[in-house]
Homo-oligomer: A and B are copies of this chain.
Amino acid sequence: MQPLLDHHVHGVVLDTVEPDRFELLMNEGGSPAPPGTSHWEAPLGWAIRRWCAPVLDLDPLSGPDDYLSRRAELGLEASRRLLGGAGLSAAYLDTGHRSGEVCDPAQFGRLAGVRTREVVRVEAVFEAVAAQQPGDATGLGERFAAALHERAREAVGLKSIVAYRHGFDLDPAPPSARDVAAAAAAWLAPRGRATAPPSGLRLQDPVLLRHALWTAADLAREQGLPLQLHAGFGDADLDLHRADPVVFTPWVRAWSAWPVPLVFLHCYPYHRQAGYLASIWPQVYFDLGAALNHTGAQAGTVLAEALELTPFTKLLYSSDAFGLAELVYLGAVQHRRLLTRVLDGWVAAGEATAADTERIRALVAAGNAGRIYPTRTPGG
């Protein structure tokens, strides 16, 4: 089994996961299913029953109750089996999303038996800096830049969720220092110095987001880091059409002379658009992230579409798992079996040689990520 470099994943919950919480972690929306229904009754639910149940010694397609009982019975061993069974060579974890609920990279690495590294979420750093002095906007832009620089020292990449916080339809011009200062002051002004709850510091001002993006890209250029960008499929915060990666084209163009790999994440249902950008712009890469898990039995169609136009040197593997170890395992299963299905079809039809398809498999499994992510060790 070819090891996969999961370049875009999050921590998982290591405690027992109660049935209701398990359901919430199966659905990106974050709300319970409507009365009389269950989040198990969705493509992801069936895929977990199909592929994860055997890892817990159950028959494929066992029912949700049996699954959850067995999972509880196994305790941490369930997560260990699922993480270990994914067959990863390395995992790069975004640590900026609900990090209090899930394990950290070191715990993930021990349980999965793999090397882990961190990807720093740009907007989370910005908000953390603001929360340190919530009533004080002075030099906020500079303080953020310094903090991001510090955080990036041990990271393999940066990640922006601007698609969530505004959409990609942002003016690509770098804002002036004066504009940033004014926007920072306006953002923090209504909060009393001592009263501002950190949770209220949600970065969504367009000027500050543009500053964050330019700062991140500049740092990525300097440090030789890729910049990940959430695109497409996400949660209730998102206006999906504004997260279409081609809407970010003016930014891609603005940075095209810089050797900063831009990696669009998920992209569904705009994965063809991502493939288009990857075919046109040398520095653009993408993955399907959580899409292969959430489209279950039909995920092969999505992967095949992602392979229509995309250079084979531009697609990356990731699970984008969050919360459930199942998602780490399932992502790897879906990717391996479905990529094999597409590529075997090409060989059978005479459209590629076996050696050609082996090469693609290796590139997507880890070769492409290996080329664009830094290899420096922590603290290096």
Contact = CB atoms under 8 A, between A and B. Distances in A.
Interface in A347-364: 349-353, 356, 359, 363
Contacts of A280: 27-29, 235-236
Nearest to A256: B236
Contacts of A349: 297
9 contacts: A41-B359, A43-B310, A46-B356, A50-B352, A236-B281, A268-B276, A295-B309, A298-B308, A299-B308
Contact of A61 (B268, B297, B353): B353
Contacts of A60: 350
A69 interface: no
Contacts of A241: 244, 246-247, 273
Interface of A: 27-29, 31-34, 36-39, 41-43, 46-47, 50, 60-61, 233, 235-236, 238-241, 244, 246-247, 249-250, 253, 256, 268-269, 272-273, 276-277, 279-283, 294-299, 301-302, 304-305, 307-313, 346, 349-353, 356, 359, 363, 371
Given A42-B279, A269-B272, A352-B61, A298 B302 contact: no
A28 B312 contact: no
The 5 closest A-B CB pairs, nearest first, are: A29-B280, A269-B272, A297-B351, A42-B311, A37-B313
B295 A352 contact: no
Binding site secondary structure of chain A: loop
Given A36-B371, A253-B236, A297-B352, A313 B46 contact: no
Given A297-B352, A301-B304, A33 B311 contact: yes
A28 to B, nearest CB: 6
Contacts of A363: 41
Given A27-B279, A297-B349, A313 B246 contact: no
Contact of A50 (B39, B311, B350): B350
A336 to B, nearest CB: 15
Copies in the assembly, this chain: 3
Contact of A29 (B38, B247, B282, B308): B282
B253 A246 contact: no
A31 B313 CA distance: 15
Given A298-B304, A308-B298, A29 B279 contact: yes
Contacts of A39: 311
A358 to B, nearest CB: 13
B247 A307 contact: no
A298 B294 contact: no
Contacts of A43: 307-310
B313 A34 contact: yes
A115 B277 CA distance: 36
Residue among A235, A256, A272, A359 having the largest count of chain B Cβ atoms under 10 Å: A272
Given A29-B282, A32-B282, A43-B310, 13 more contacts: A29-B281, A42-B311, A43-B308, A43-B309, A46-B352, A46-B356, A47-B351, A50-B350, A233-B309, A236-B253, A297-B307, A299-B308, A301-B305
Contacts of A238: 249
Nearest to A343: B297
Contact of A276 (B46, B249, B269, B304): B269
A309 B294 contact: yes
Contacts of A371: 34, 36-37
Residue among A27, A253, A350, A353 having the largest count of chain B Cβ atoms under 10 Å: A353
